[in-house]
Amino acid sequence: MTRISARLASTGAAVVLALTAVSGAAVADTPATAPAAGQAVITTDVNFLSAAALKGIVVIPLQPANPTFDPNAGLTVTLPVSGGAANIPAFYGDVQFGGGLLFLNLSTGRSVTFKQFDFSVANGYFTAVPNGSTTPVPLLDPAGDNVINRNGLTQNLNSSSFQVDAEGATYLDAKLGTTFFTAGQQVGSLALSYTPAH
């Protein structure tokens, strides 16, 4: 990664963190009421962040999603589990998440907000509902090596690769007026922890 791209990535991250602080009140998700617990931690590659920043694209987590940034690891976004009924080791059910992601294209001034994140365990992809729509869009796919285990009631999924879904790429490009997003684009990695209601 070049020094310029690193700087842009840092700038983008700073924008992300700054905007997150002010965006929560306006766009906070519906409070979770389900007794299920856990989180999805998306660790975003610095390479993805810098490439996005060079195109003027930033991704802003919306509360209760929680961002952190490390210059080496990149941006980490934690989406809290808000509900669901899933058996991840048996590959069935769904897990729902609170929070959202705002995708913003600083070059075109266009944006799209995704909320109501849902992980379809059978299909193996995350969908989310964009603002102005009620139809979920397949957005992100766990890819690469998936490792699943149980620790008591808690089910864990670690995926070495987290990628942009083909439909998500098409949708994002159209909404943001860009050609940046592509099917299978490497975003980072995923660590999902889910404890069903009990």
Say whether residue 144 binds another protein (CB under 8 A). Answer: yes
Check residue 89 for interaction with another protein (CB under 8 A).
yes
Q: Which is nearer to another protein, 5 or 146 (CB)?
A: 146
Among residues 95, 68, 67, the alpha carbon closest in space to that of 82 is found at: 95
| Least CB distance to another protein at residue 122 (A) | 6
CA–CA separation, 38 and 78 (whole Å) = 10
Please say which residue, 11 or 123, places its beta carbon nearer to another protein: 123
In whole angstroms, how close is the CB of 15 to another protein at the nearest point?
32
- 44 Cβ contact list (under 8 Å, min separation 6): 59, 74, 75, 76, 77, 187, 188
- Site membership for another protein, residue 14 (CB under 8 A): no
The yes or no reply on residue 146 touching another protein (CB under 8 A) is: yes
Structure tokens at 193: 């922890």
| Residue ranges binding another protein (CB under 8 A) | 89-92, 122-125, 141-150
